A = this chain, B = another copy of it.
Amino acid sequence: MGIQERKEREKEDMRRLILEAARKLFLEQGYEKTSIRNIADAIEYSPGTIYLYYKDKNELLFALHEEAFLKMMQQLITVTHISDPFERLIEMGHQYIKYAIENPELYDLMFIMQAPMETLACRDEIWEDGLKSFGLLKLVIEDCVKAGYFKETNIEIMAMTIWAYMHGLVTIYLKNRMSMFKDDQQLERIQESFQLFIKMIKTSL
């Protein structure tokens, strides 16, 4: 019975086809401005077909949610070759900023949008993604503690504090709330602030 297997393969193909079109449109013109009909047009199927493969628009969002975390993890993991844990932490920060700025729509989806949280609050997988990347941060911080960089011991709260700062920094920029600085100076200010923050955690954590 190779037919069933082929059918399942076709079903998977279709899911991918839809998701790829959705991703393309979401990232190009934003989530809100992309309609199911837009996606259907892109893949030359009728709107109703999409609902045979995804429960609703939020489920499409959720599929990208996973992808987005995977992509960020892959980028953050590139720092593992740096032996000094504090240097590694700094570079992780740089990569975090880079990821956020280069993937504003994905970042929004991961950390700001309500939609994937509401509908999928029941499913544990959502938290899993977030927890894994938070765990990555905690690991590096733990290494810093072990190497004697930090005197502080509450790793959970240290991670929370560092993440809060990083998240605030990029969010202010992404959501266009840095108007107190000229457009061409904004990225510079982000780097200056980040340098100051590094100094802060170096001398007082």
Contact = CB atoms under 8 A, between A and B. Distances in A.
Interface of A: 111-114, 117, 126-127, 130-131, 134, 152, 154, 156-158, 160-161, 163-169, 171-172, 175-177, 179-180, 189, 192-193, 196-197, 199-205
Given A131-B180, A205-B200, A168 B175 contact: no
B168 A163 contact: yes
Contacts of A202: 204
A193 B112 contact: no
Nearest to A113: B175
A180 B112 contact: no
A185 to B, nearest CB: 10
Given A157-B189, A160-B189, 5 more contacts: A113-B175, A130-B179, A131-B180, A152-B196, A157-B192
